[in-house]
Each structure stands twice: as C-alpha cells, then as structure tokens.
Amino acid sequence: MNKWEDNKAWFMVIPVFLVVAVSAILPLMTVVNYSLQDIFGPDQRVFVGLEWYKDALTDSRLHDALKRQLMFSSLVLLIEIPLGILIALMMPKKGWGASLSLVLVALPLLIPWNVIGTIWIIFMRPDIGLLGAAVNGLGIPFDHTASPFAAWVTVMLMEVWHWTPLVVLLAYAGLQAIPEAYFQAARIDGASAWSTFRYIQLPKMRGVLTIAVLLRFMDSFLIYAEPFVLTGGGPGNSTTFLSIYLVKLAVGQFDLGPAAAFSIIYFLIVLLFCWLFYQVLLKVGTGDKP
C-alpha cells in the first residue's frame, strides 16, 4: 500500500489546522505570554512569573465577581431549562400552529445583543418604560440604575426573555423526535401525563437538554454585552460579572498583565464547569447505576 495514499488525508485538514492555530492557539499563547509579564509600554516589560496569578486568586473583587457569576448562571439554568421544556411541551405539534409558534418563539434570538440592552433600558425606565412605569405606578419603587435588586431582576428578565427560546427550540426538536408509538404505549399502559413526561419525554430529551445546559451555562458565564449596556455593572458592583470585571481591568485600567492572568483563570473555570456538567449529564440515565 502506498504511503502517500495513506497520508494524503492529512494535507486535506491543513487549512483547518491553520484556521484554528491563527484564531485560537496563537492569541491564547500571546495571552499566556502577557500573563507572565508586567507591561509598561510597547518595549518595556518585566518577567514576573506567576505573580499576577497569585494576585488574581487573592483578589477579593474577583471572588465577588465569581460568586455573582455563579449565582447568575445557576439562576439562568434553574429558570430557563424548566421554562423552556414547559413552553416546548405546550407548543402545537403539527399544522400551521406549530410553524407560527416556532417563529414567535425564535424572535428574540434574531435581535442583536447590544440592541437588546437598549430595548430593555427603555422598557424598564421608571418614567417612560412600559414595564418600569407600570411597576412604579403600582406603588412599588423600581429603578435598575438605583437598586441592586431591581438591577438583578432586570438583567435576569432580559436574559430569560432573550435565551429561553433557544432552550425551547432544542427541547421542541427533542420532543418531535420521539416516535408516536411511545405515547400510544403509554396511553395503553394507563400512564398519567406526569408519568409520560417523567418516563418517556424527559429521558428521550436527555441528549438535547445536555446541549441546552452546556450552551446556556457557557453563554451566561461569558455574558457581557447586555449587562454592560443595561447597567454597566452597577449600581456599585452589583451586576459586575466576571467578563465585565475583566474588561474593566484590561481596558479601563489598561493593566494587561493581570488582565491576561485573569483571562486564563476565567478560561480554565469555564472549561472545568463544562467538563463537570458534561460528565454528570452523560451519566444520568445510562448504566445500571449512575
């Protein structure tokens, strides 16, 4: 057998390697390089070893941002996944109703992220915003620029409104893929709606829900544009999530070394959580005992 024939395939994947190298690996290496130096100007830098990492890991503002971030992402998953499944279950399965509801559900996904922030700023304004004014009109003081609680509620609302549709679409696709025979068998076995959901629909949706959880976790963990536009991380630091803090550090204070070290840590945290989720979700529902 010809060696050349055997190895020809490798040449085919070279373009992909190049793209990945330029787009991911090279910048990452630059960041690793920066994270080990103290940078004063284009030609003025000092090698400082792991100092920035030590600083970052002991930085209480980073800890706070991480706690906030975990809180935020947990809330996102706890709300969006069940809500998404619920909406998917309620959607019509066929006919024009199915197409129409799909289009309606998908609408928020079609709007650019920064526009979403602007929409919600206007929507929530206590003086002229539809929701903001309505809530204040009921006598409940609500101003996301003044109260941390109101800021959180606003960011959560916006996030849920924007991204639950993605979960809905995934869950809906998962539900549509279940053969009709399962539902017929369940009816014949006398299963209640809850049993049908618990023993047929939920297990059969496991694959798509795994993807939904991973996507939503990663995206929410990396959230930047919407809170930046809406609250700018405030009031105070109450909505300063990891990415906002990172940008404040890197761009605002122009301290590239610590920002680079922070980025690497951030990256590792995301990777770790994704791996954990993946492992757990993979085991649920397979094997005799998970």
Partner 1 sequence: MALIDLKNLAHSYLSKPTAETDYALQKMDHVWEDGNAYALLGPSGCGKTTLLNIISGLLQPSEGQVLFDGKDVTGLLPQERNIAQVFQFPVIYDTMSVYDNLAFPLRNRKLPEADIKERVKEVADMLELNDVLHKRAANLSADAKQKISLGRGLVRSDVAAILFDEPLTVIDPHLKLLLRRKLKQIHARFKLTMVYVTHDQLEALTFADQVVVMNQGQVMQIGTPQELFENPQHTFVGYFIGSPGMNFLPCRMENGIAHIGDQEILVGNGTERLTGSFKLGIRPDFLKLHSQAVQGAIPVTVKAVEDLGNCTIVTVALAAQTLKVKLSEEEDIPAESGFLEFQRQWIRIYSDEKLVGNGVKQQARLEPAK
Partner 2 sequence: MALVIENVTKLVEKDCHINDISLQLEPGTFNVLLGRTLSGKTTLMRLMAGLDKPTKGRILMNGQDLTGVSVRERDVAMVYQQFINYPSMTVYKNIASPLRLAKVAKAEIDRKVRDVAEMLRIEKLLDRMPAELSGGQQQRTAIARALVKDAELLLLDEPLVNLDYKLREELRAEMHEIFKRRNSIVVYATTEPPEALALGGNTAVLYEGRLEQFGPTVDVYQHPQSTRIAQAFSDPAMNFVAGSVDATNLRLGDAMPSALEQHLNGLKPGKYQFGMRANHLQLQSRTATDIEFQANIDLAEISGSETFVHVTHNGAAWTVQQQGIHQYQIDEQIKVYVNQARLYVFDLDGHLVASPDNASRQLT
Choose between 30 and 184: whose C-beta lies nearer to partner 1: 184
Shortest separation between residue 227's beta carbon and partner 1, angstroms: 38
DSSP 8-state code for residue 260: H
If one asks whether residue 1 binds partner 2 (CB under 8 A), the answer comes out as yes
If one asks whether residue 192 binds partner 2 (CB under 8 A), the answer comes out as no
Choose between 173 and 185: whose C-beta lies nearer to partner 1: 185
Burial class (CB in 10 A: 0-12, 13-18, 19+), 21: exposed
Shortest separation between residue 202's beta carbon and partner 2, angstroms: 34
Tell me which of partner 2, partner 1, none is bound by residue 90, counting a contact when its beta carbon lies within the kind-specific cut-off of 5 to 8 angstroms: none
Two tokens at 226? Answer: 């919407």
Q: Which of 189, 275, 278, 283 binds partner 1 (CB under 8 A)?
A: 189
Number of residues that bind partner 2 (CB under 8 A): 3
CA–CA separation, 17 and 10 (whole Å): 10
CA distances from 89 to 35, 69, 82, 196, 203 (A): 48, 30, 10, 12, 14
If one asks whether residue 2 binds partner 2 (CB under 8 A), the answer comes out as yes
If one asks whether residue 5 binds partner 2 (CB under 8 A), the answer comes out as yes
Choose between 161 and 199: whose C-beta lies nearer to partner 1: 199
- b/e per residue, 79-111, with b = 16+ CB within 10 A? bbbeebbebbeebeeeeeeeeebeeebeebeee
Choose between 9 and 90: whose C-beta lies nearer to partner 2: 9
Choose between 5 and 127: whose C-beta lies nearer to partner 2: 5
SS3 breakdown of the chain: % helix, strand, coil, rounded to 5?
75, 5, 20
DSSP 8-state code for residue 110: G
Shortest separation between residue 38's beta carbon and partner 1, angstroms: 55
With tokens 């757990």, the residue in question is: 280
Q: Which of 15, 41, 190, 236 binds partner 1 (CB under 8 A)?
A: 190
For residues 196 and 87, is the Cβ–Cβ distance under 8 A?
Answer: no
Shortest separation between residue 198's beta carbon and partner 1, angstroms: 8
Tell me which of partner 1, partner 2, none is bound by residue 58, counting a contact when its beta carbon lies within the kind-specific cut-off of 5 to 8 angstroms: none
Q: Which of residues 127-186 bind partner 1 (CB under 8 A)?
A: 179, 181-182, 184-185
Burial class (CB in 10 A: 0-12, 13-18, 19+), 169: buried
Q: Which of 115, 203, 279, 280 binds partner 1 (CB under 8 A)?
A: 203
CA nearest neighbour of 172 among 107, 104, 102, 103: 102
Q: Within a 13 Å sphere around the CA of 219, how many CA atoms are in the beta-carbon half? A: 18
If one asks whether residue 188 binds partner 1 (CB under 8 A), the answer comes out as yes
Chain residues in the site for partner 2 (CB under 8 A): 1-2, 5
Q: Which residues bind partner 1 (CB under 8 A)?
A: 179, 181-182, 184-185, 187-192, 195, 199-200, 203-204, 285-288
